[in-house]
Amino acid sequence: WQIRRKLQVQGIKGPKPSLLYGNVWEMQKIQASVMEKTANNEEFVAHDYTSTLFPYFEQWRKEYGSVYTYSTGKKQHLYINHPELVKEMNHCISSDLGKPSYITRRLAPMLGNGILRSNGHIWAQQRKIVAPQFFMDKVKGMVGLMMESAESLTRKWERCIESQGGKIAEIRAEEDLRSVSADVISKACFGSSYFKGKAIFSKLRTLQKLVSNQTLLFGSYNAFGLVSSGQQKKIDDLEKEIESLIWKAVDKRKIDSDDENKDLLQQILEGAIDIHDHDRVDDKDSSKRFIVDNCKNIYFAGHESTAVAASWCLMLLALHPQWQARIRAEMGRVCEETGRLDSDCLHKLKTVTMVIQEVLRLYPPAAFVSREALQETKIGHITVPKGVCLWTLIPTLHRDPHIWGSDVNEFKPERFADGIFNACKLPQVYIPFGLGPRLCLGRNFALVQLKIVIALIVSKFTFSLSPKYRHCPAYRMIVEPGEGVHLLIRRCGENC
């Protein structure tokens, strides 16, 4: 109550909370009424996943504006979608702002205290180790293996066409896209392959579904945050299994400090030794935790969001065959000059880039940037009391008609024809990869991989949505196609 009062006296409004559960009941009620409406609505694709996935945020934003406060029982939250304040929050370098601790606790079996969730000096050490592996120069060197993995997918889809009669095949794209990005991250960072690391990926995926079932956003210690003992046991078992699989892979690796081409796993191992020596931590377990947590973070961050972004790309391209045709024409021009895609011609794929940018605008896989005031701190004119969690809803920023224009809900890659700076009035609101010191480390890596995968698929196949496709974005730590992306694919030469 005291924390809320400190926000209210600064003119920040919000829905009235109940005594124990804050606004959680109301969130549940709003969500349920939207689910009821959408369950009977077969009408296809309003590209606005916030109004179905996070309807309470939309309702309160309309009532209270782009800054308001709400409560989930013991936690007080501040919703910030004002462009200037968003910028300030994301650029904050003070350790007074960190990742929300209650979410970190919930995600601990998945991510531990790795780079995605850590704060302060542990985070800074991890970022120093991981960042150089994803500098553009390094990523350029990974183009060959990205091509290899994408080509194995197109070969698989060709075999599907053969086995389904030779003309047309029905496929589910998202699982194959997941295998491609898992393969790429395994080879690029861990000197392994999807095949070898398959068990880790599939267990992480099961764990992801289990932990995001726990109504992740509704704060801690409320009726909805409780996990059944059966579910908790599954989570604990998976955590142990993943840890032992990663540890086995690590054990196989000999530390070879003379090798100039060290991959990320090598860097993480050496980082753990440095931290052990530097901090004089005698505890062997902490080095082990450091290694396992960071491997899990990279396995997850490195493949899940890229695969989901690629799935949304194919869904939108299936709806807009004219953009498939434009990409194909561009590939024809670029490959005529070079014969094959390589790292030097990727920047010539302007249409592919525009399509990817538009997909990440409409369907950013990461829905939120969230922080917690670890100490009382200032964001713009607002004094944020210690303990308050701050939330920015990325898709809402991406769909503000005052910034993007009245066609904001339409798929129009041409808006990016002259770059992000000319696509909207305030480019700092386009943040599919976040912003500031915690900007996504894998941005270059993901964009290059997306370009290769999309360009290659579109140059080989034409595709449309299968009648089996159901449009139901789902929030499972990231926003993904809830029931996959069912496509009907044909070989390109057949009809284009």
Report the residue number, 158 or 270, with the smaller CB distance to ligand HEM: 270
**483 token code pair:** 């029931």
Q: By CB neighbour count within 10 A (0-12 exposed, 13-18 middle, 19+ buried), where does 315 fall?
A: buried
Nearest distance from C-beta of residue 285 to ligand HEM, angstroms: 23
Q: What are the residues facing 109 on neighbouring strands? A: none
Considering only residues 287 through 346, tell me which ones interact with ligand HEM, judged by CB under 6 A. 298, 301-302, 305-306, 309
Nearest distance from C-beta of residue 284 to ligand HEM, angstroms: 25
Annotated binding residue at 440?
yes
Q: By CB neighbour count within 10 A (0-12 exposed, 13-18 middle, 19+ buried), where does 253 fall?
A: middle
Residue 110 within binding range of ligand HEM, rule CB under 6 A: no
Nearest distance from C-beta of residue 71 to ligand HEM, angstroms: 22
Among 15, 109, 442, 473, interactor with ligand HEM by CB under 6 A: 442
Residue 271 within binding range of ligand HEM, rule CB under 6 A: no
**What gap in Å lies between CA 295 and CA 299, rounded to an integer?**
6
Site size for ligand HEM (CB under 6 A): 22
Residue 186 within binding range of ligand HEM, rule CB under 6 A: no
Report the residue number, 21 or 54, with the smaller CB distance to ligand HEM: 54
Report the residue number, 72 or 186, with the smaller CB distance to ligand HEM: 186
Report the residue number, 394 or 465, with the smaller CB distance to ligand HEM: 394
Which residue type sits at 47?
H
Nearest distance from C-beta of residue 111 to ligand HEM, angstroms: 10
Report the residue number, 175 or 237, with the smaller CB distance to ligand HEM: 175
Instruction: Considering only the stretches 53-61, 211-219, 335-343, 441-449, report the one whose residues sit in contact with ligand HEM under the rule CB under 6 A.
Output: 441-449
Q: What are the residues facing 76 on neighbouring strands? A: 71
Q: By CB neighbour count within 10 A (0-12 exposed, 13-18 middle, 19+ buried), where does 199 fall?
A: exposed
Considering only residues 336 through 395, tell me which ones interact with ligand HEM, judged by CB under 6 A. 365-366, 369
Instruction: Considering only the stretches 10-18, 62-70, 227-235, 439-447, report the one whose residues sit in contact with ligand HEM under the rule CB under 6 A.
Output: 439-447
Residue 190 within binding range of ligand HEM, rule CB under 6 A: no
Instruction: Considering only the stretches 139-147, 228-236, 269-277, 430-438, report the one whose residues sit in contact with ligand HEM under the rule CB under 6 A.
Output: 430-438
Report the residue number, 48 or 158, with the smaller CB distance to ligand HEM: 48
Nearest distance from C-beta of residue 88 to ligand HEM, angstroms: 14
Considering only residues 115 through 134, tell me which ones interact with ligand HEM, judged by CB under 6 A. 115-116, 127, 130
Nearest distance from C-beta of residue 280 to ligand HEM, angstroms: 26
Among 73, 432, 473, 481, interactor with ligand HEM by CB under 6 A: 432
Nearest distance from C-beta of residue 107 to ligand HEM, angstroms: 12
| Cβ neighbours of 453 (radius 10 Å) | 27
Side-chain-facing half-sphere of 430: CA atoms under 13 Å:
21
Residues 110, 210 contacting (CB under 8 angstroms): no
Instruction: Considering only the stretches 151-159, 244-252, 317-325, 437-445, report the one whose residues sit in contact with ligand HEM under the rule CB under 6 A.
Output: 437-445
Report the residue number, 127 or 198, with the smaller CB distance to ligand HEM: 127
Residue 438 within binding range of ligand HEM, rule CB under 6 A: yes
Instruction: Considering only the stretches 214-222, 376-384, 442-450, 488-496, report the one whose residues sit in contact with ligand HEM under the rule CB under 6 A.
Output: 442-450
List residues binding ligand HEM (CB under 6 A): 115-116, 127, 130, 298, 301-302, 305-306, 309, 365-366, 369, 432-434, 438, 440-442, 445-446
- Extract the annotated binding site for heme: 440
